[in-house]
Structure 1
């Protein structure tokens, strides 16, 4: 099959017998049939934007079709020569079919990625027609009470289903469903489950829950960890790799379709920062390259584990037509003034006076909730939190912002961490000695510096340190992330699988952390601006979380200073 580069040419459905292979050519509205032995094309027939295909024992094809229909996809039934049989069941309103499969009993199963998050069952009636025969899975899936709590039969974005000859059911999920036609959305990780249909019990489950995803500790409890769309609990008494438990899925695409993460380039929340105000948790997240800062609040009584969209700070207009009411120029912010989690044009405030001067900056939220923006060339801005509004949303205003000039020795700032408790600012970036160049656009820079009495207007440069940096080596040695906890600063290298540790009091390097044998002595690139976090446990140990983009996981280092 060949498709123009401007179209979505992905193969979205396959089925085969020993003699023939059926391929869904979605872009060209047809199913193509090949000889299964020689791969010679035998024939093709028209089906409107077909997707998944299931072969019945009578040799007919059941197809998810109409991938681009205004009313959503439906089910088609065809003879193998393409003759439409027109006897497929009409699905319940709101159903979004994503896959279909036949059980050994002959029962047709249809995965529904609509609000029900169930598998619909159909069996032959006495008249010979397929009729509804029940469902599998908890209605609303993972969003049944308690919303966001994972568990058996609580499906979340079914992408594929299938049966083996023994009747065991296999269900693949990614927290979203199959990639919508014509989009680049990547999903929210992966879960593969197997259920024994005789007893309806879970056989096994495999979790692969993070990709282009960082993690952060709850400041109230280092055993509580958030990623962009998940919450995990840690049991430090267990051996490495067995410490984590998946505790919550925090993104509800049905209740909050205006969640800004769902409208970003990849459809993921990305890098989290967890803060607590008046004892209540709040989640701040950055997209992959820190263009936008999303704000979320929690209400366990009404939304369980789900993070409720609360606000958004944007350095520039978002591409596309969402949200309605955003400016065409300059930065802007949204606060959920009516508390419904949806973005209303009346809730948007713009700041055109800054123009493009804040573009490509880096966000940081300090312990009291003040938002800092490190611009590359225009200095560092603080937006003090103005308390919580009546809905429990953090409030910010452009009028209350304070601007701090870029301090020597920097001529371009890449990352910051501000520690409000000690009025200390840590900055990484570039200097005249090693200037920034566009080929290293996402790096944290070759220099790290600490400034005390930052908010006084006359900060003191306490120390500066040269970071690992050699762009002429193979692999290159550069930096990409920073985290600060207790008496130490942690720096992630981009290509060389190291986390370097510096004494926050002196700037002296202490050593480095590298992947151990339990992860194959290797990890992938940190491919996001805020790809790491750190915390000090009550026992004095330090724990560091680092994104591993290549292998879709997060590495945790647990270190006891000597």
Structure 2
């Protein structure tokens, strides 16, 4: 059987096949005098075929008018019946195996198993048989289909042409050295000894049952993560535009079927999700930092089971997060988004294809005190901000493997932009003239994990006719380092509906061989104390190779350092006087041809045995004396448990807690600046200390003096831009300003991508507690005396948020900000105070003032 390459056209195949004309209207329910009627096929002179379940298509054979081909899509069928219709119809042959892909070894691909809905059948003038099937149907949006050609006797598959994915990524199985790949509906095998592009892979299994309901029917486009947990295979699927994060559990081998078991929907303000090899779900919240939720498998009812959520506040200097990748072997988080020196612009430009202009990497993530390894800018250009010289240039997806960090560009990667130097890796040199679509779409940039320096780019070459479309997913890139040292990248691209596999060997020694190596010690996340001895041990299966040496390697300062080299078995080494810190270690064997194999990296920790602690507050920016603050203390002890904690405010112990959760409700707040820290104590009595946090508590906000010539009303600035948060407006320039008596967005010039900033004074007649409200779509905030009182920020449907302040009678500075990105637009503000309930703002007696000179409305 020959599997056609995508660039071949069926009409060019010289084997007697009938050519098809484009745009021909084909009725697959009728052929000659025969037609489908419900569950029957009816013909001339009262002839009927009734032994069918769900006939879907039919055709009179082109080479023999006495033969009728009928596709049956009924449950348990999924075959093509061939009838002799010269007299009473009688079956003379069957193409396919009854039951389709579910027959025999369930959902294992076979040349005679039909794995989709049968859409068309027919023959050519030599008797070759054709079957067209697809997973796309009235109840399914899946875009996978196949054309097969069988010999006239139906016993030989001559060729097939299939497409499997459209805007879908493919993921590596981390346990098989990249030899197994999974998509949302398929399982594929890869033979890396083959080097001709397109010949390495083959379809192995179908993971989707078209005879049962499945969320994949409605959400055909998206990304997946594949993991093993408790001896079972699991798949996580994220829709192209976010939303549902669905979870699937595979049947035990040899079945290939994956069943929907539930959905994960903890947080919604995130464009970045990631599932590490241990099954932890990581989320980069746009405005609230990082969340981690352990996936524990399934409960007694077969539903997904999750562990407690961990939260890290926004790490400085980042202000908005778009993507996250977590590396367990380094305990490092790779984050992209926007930092405090680069305001977010056009976050949603071109859908979700925007990872931001900034990459920041943090080590020792779980210690409670992550350390910034490096931060750098990546190519980024948006025409509404910088001009149209380059069009839109935005990264879409990120991943890490081995010594490198990879960034896939969803839309362009122009060399002329600042900081995009670097050689072309893997492929022949490519210029813009090579591409028949958009130049530089889908290029992958490679950076060193050690210091963030650029290595080069991976670009499409002649194997794909130099053609590449958009990376049209947030998680459109999957990277791994194989045991040979070779780096493999799977890149989704939306134009030609495919995934491209890049293979890259940085040092040129990545040869296939039958040797293998495993490391028995140390174990992953094993803890060692300073001055202890760390024993390394590796076992090598030589296969047909002659083993020349084994190296034990540790990454020190994020670079490989050979600790010991052993030329004879048993391969062992004792590392003495290891310094304090986290280390990624692995073993690597070499044969006489200098081919190598290495073990997966593991993380070891060398410390003094003291635990780590972390403080966090309930989410609020401004605290008043009438508030209560929930202080949470969490701790990590790598060789035991956290048994107790002690909380200090301004150096005074206020709470000792002996059982988790360690939370303290701080009431009766005093006005002024306060300093908070905590001590965590483990089961051995050792202590760890959190960072000290600075908290400012406000009392009555004093009034200010209003200009004598102020008049009723507010100044406003009006903006045109695609904002994603209120902070985005700080660096934008208004296109107009003016004066209004009341807050209203009715004078906006357009309905999407605009914002207002209102400011002036508010007169408060009576001292007391005042509550302010906004109801908005999208984001809004209110400031009193330059202090944030109401935070209703972000992209969302209409929602109300409120905040309170103690205000002294008199005049106070007032400002309100609102932005609208897309969809509906709505903004109303309200006030409640002593002696009155909630009223729309501003109202009688609560006058706003505009300082002179007030600009006239233009």
* TM-score when normalising by structure 2: 0.49
Q: Distance in 1 between matches of 2:159 and 2:501?
A: 25
Deviation at residue 484 of structure 1 after TM alignment: 0.8
Corresponding residue to 1:227 among 183, 190, 199: 183
Aligned to 1:416: 324
Aligned to 2:776: none
Q: Is the 8 A contact 1:366 1:418 kept in 2?
A: yes
Corresponding residue to 2:408 among 486, 492, 496: 492
C-alpha spacing 1:23/1:219, structure 2 compared with 1 (3 Å): closer
Deviation at residue 96 of structure 1 after TM alignment: 4.5
Deviation at residue 421 of structure 1 after TM alignment: 3.1
Aligned to 1:460: 371
Q: Is the 8 A contact 1:145 1:304 kept in 2?
A: no
Deviation at residue 373 of structure 1 after TM alignment: 2.3
Q: Distance in 2 between matches of 1:209 and 1:198?
A: 28
C-alpha spacing 1:142/1:386, structure 2 compared with 1 (3 Å): closer
1:511 is the counterpart of 2:511: no
Aligned to 1:308: 259
Measured against aligned partners, the alpha-carbon deviations of 1:196-225 in whole angstroms (never above 9, x if no partner) come to: 123621112223222212111111121111
Measured against aligned partners, the alpha-carbon deviations of 1:356-376 in whole angstroms (never above 9, x if no partner) come to: x62454321122212122232
Q: Is the 8 A contact 1:366 1:419 kept in 2?
A: yes
Q: Distance in 1 between matches of 2:321 and 2:36?
A: 51
Aligned to 2:705: none
Aligned to 1:448: 359
1:436 is the counterpart of 2:412: no
Q: Is the 8 A contact 2:274 2:282 kept in 1?
A: yes
Q: Is the 8 A contact 2:237 2:245 kept in 1?
A: yes
Q: Distance in 2 between matches of 1:22 and 1:76?
A: 25
Q: Is the 8 A contact 2:68 2:83 kept in 1?
A: yes
C-alpha spacing 1:367/1:133, structure 2 compared with 1 (3 Å): same
**Mapping 1:343-358, distance limit 5 Å:** 358=268
Query: Highest relative contact order (Cα 8 Å, sep 6+), 1 or 2?
Result: 1
Residue 540 of structure 1 aligns to a residue in which SS? coil
Pairwise CA RMSD? 2.7
Q: Is the 8 A contact 2:334 2:362 kept in 1?
A: yes
Residue 261 of structure 1 aligns to a residue in which SS? helix
Q: Distance in 2 between matches of 1:384 and 1:461?
A: 24
C-alpha spacing 1:73/1:431, structure 2 compared with 1 (3 Å): farther
Aligned to 2:717: none
Deviates more, 1:141-150 or 1:287-296: 287-296
Q: Distance in 1 between matches of 2:297 and 2:121?
A: 48
C-alpha spacing 1:22/1:520, structure 2 compared with 1 (3 Å): closer
Q: Is the 8 A contact 1:250 1:305 kept in 2?
A: yes
1:111 is the counterpart of 2:71: yes
Deviation at residue 125 of structure 1 after TM alignment: 6.4
Aligned to 1:124: 85
1:151 is the counterpart of 2:110: yes
Larger radius of gyration: 2
Residue 216 of structure 2 aligns to a residue in which SS? helix
1:287 is the counterpart of 2:287: no
C-alpha spacing 1:306/1:273, structure 2 compared with 1 (3 Å): same
Q: Distance in 2 between matches of 1:414 and 1:215?
A: 21
Aligned to 2:382: 471
Q: Distance in 1 between matches of 2:489 and 2:344?
A: 29
Q: Is the 8 A contact 1:501 1:512 kept in 2?
A: yes
Residue 315 of structure 2 aligns to a residue in which SS? coil
Q: Distance in 2 between matches of 1:199 and 1:370?
A: 48
Q: Is the 8 A contact 1:486 1:535 kept in 2?
A: yes
Aligned to 1:353: none
Deviation at residue 394 of structure 1 after TM alignment: 4.8
**Mapping 1:38-187, distance limit 5 Å:** 52-56=28-32, 60=33, 62-64=34-36, 75=41, 87-90=47-50, 92-93=52-53, 95-105=54-64, 106-115=66-75, 116-124=77-85, 126=87, 129-133=88-92, 135-157=94-116, 158-174=118-134, 176-177=135-136, 179-180=137-138, 185-187=140-142
Q: Which runs of 5 or more structure 1 residues have no equivalent in the other structure? A: 1-20, 25-50, 66-71, 79-84, 315-330, 332-356
Residue 349 of structure 2 aligns to a residue in which SS? helix
C-alpha spacing 1:510/1:103, structure 2 compared with 1 (3 Å): same
Q: Is the 8 A contact 2:241 2:351 kept in 1?
A: no
Which of the pair is proportionally richer in strand?
A: 2
Q: Distance in 2 between matches of 1:467 and 1:73?
A: 60
Deviates more, 1:482-491 or 1:244-253: 244-253
Alignment size in residue pairs: 443
C-alpha spacing 1:431/1:99, structure 2 compared with 1 (3 Å): farther
Q: Distance in 1 between matches of 2:365 and 2:24?
A: 66
1:542 is the counterpart of 2:487: yes
Q: Distance in 1 between matches of 2:126 and 2:210?
A: 35
Residue 395 of structure 1 aligns to a residue in which SS? strand
Q: Distance in 2 between matches of 1:223 and 1:441?
A: 33
Deviation at residue 114 of structure 1 after TM alignment: 2.5
Deviation at residue 167 of structure 1 after TM alignment: 1.1
Q: Which runs of 5 or more structure 2 residues have no equivalent in the other structure? A: 1-22, 384-388, 413-440, 508-858
Aligned to 1:202: 157
Deviation at residue 151 of structure 1 after TM alignment: 1.6
Residue 561 of structure 1 aligns to a residue in which SS? coil
* TM-score when normalising by structure 1: 0.73
Measured against aligned partners, the alpha-carbon deviations of 1:64-95 in whole angstroms (never above 9, x if no partner) come to: 46xxxxxx6764668xxxxxx875433523x1
Aligned to 2:792: none
Q: Is the 8 A contact 1:99 1:159 kept in 2?
A: no
Aligned to 2:830: none
Q: Is the 8 A contact 2:336 2:358 kept in 1?
A: yes
**Mapping 1:308-327, distance limit 5 Å:** 308-314=259-265
Q: Distance in 2 between matches of 1:277 and 1:22?
A: 50
Measured against aligned partners, the alpha-carbon deviations of 1:88-110 in whole angstroms (never above 9, x if no partner) come to: 433523x1414544353322211
Q: Distance in 1 between matches of 2:25 and 2:186?
A: 35
C-alpha spacing 1:199/1:401, structure 2 compared with 1 (3 Å): closer
**Mapping 1:364-383, distance limit 5 Å:** 364-383=274-293
Residue 494 of structure 1 aligns to a residue in which SS? strand
Q: Distance in 1 between matches of 2:39 and 2:339?
A: 55
Residue 125 of structure 2 aligns to a residue in which SS? coil
Q: Distance in 1 between matches of 2:82 and 2:154?
A: 17
Q: Distance in 2 between matches of 1:159 and 1:63?
A: 15
Q: Distance in 2 between matches of 1:549 and 1:73?
A: 38
Residue 306 of structure 2 aligns to a residue in which SS? coil
Q: Is the 8 A contact 2:133 2:146 kept in 1?
A: yes
Measured against aligned partners, the alpha-carbon deviations of 1:157-210 in whole angstroms (never above 9, x if no partner) come to: 122211111111111222x15x32xx7x54342322111123621112223222
Q: Is the 8 A contact 1:260 1:312 kept in 2?
A: no
Q: Distance in 2 between matches of 1:188 and 1:237?
A: 30
Measured against aligned partners, the alpha-carbon deviations of 1:357-404 in whole angstroms (never above 9, x if no partner) come to: 62454321122212122232233222123454347765115xx22222
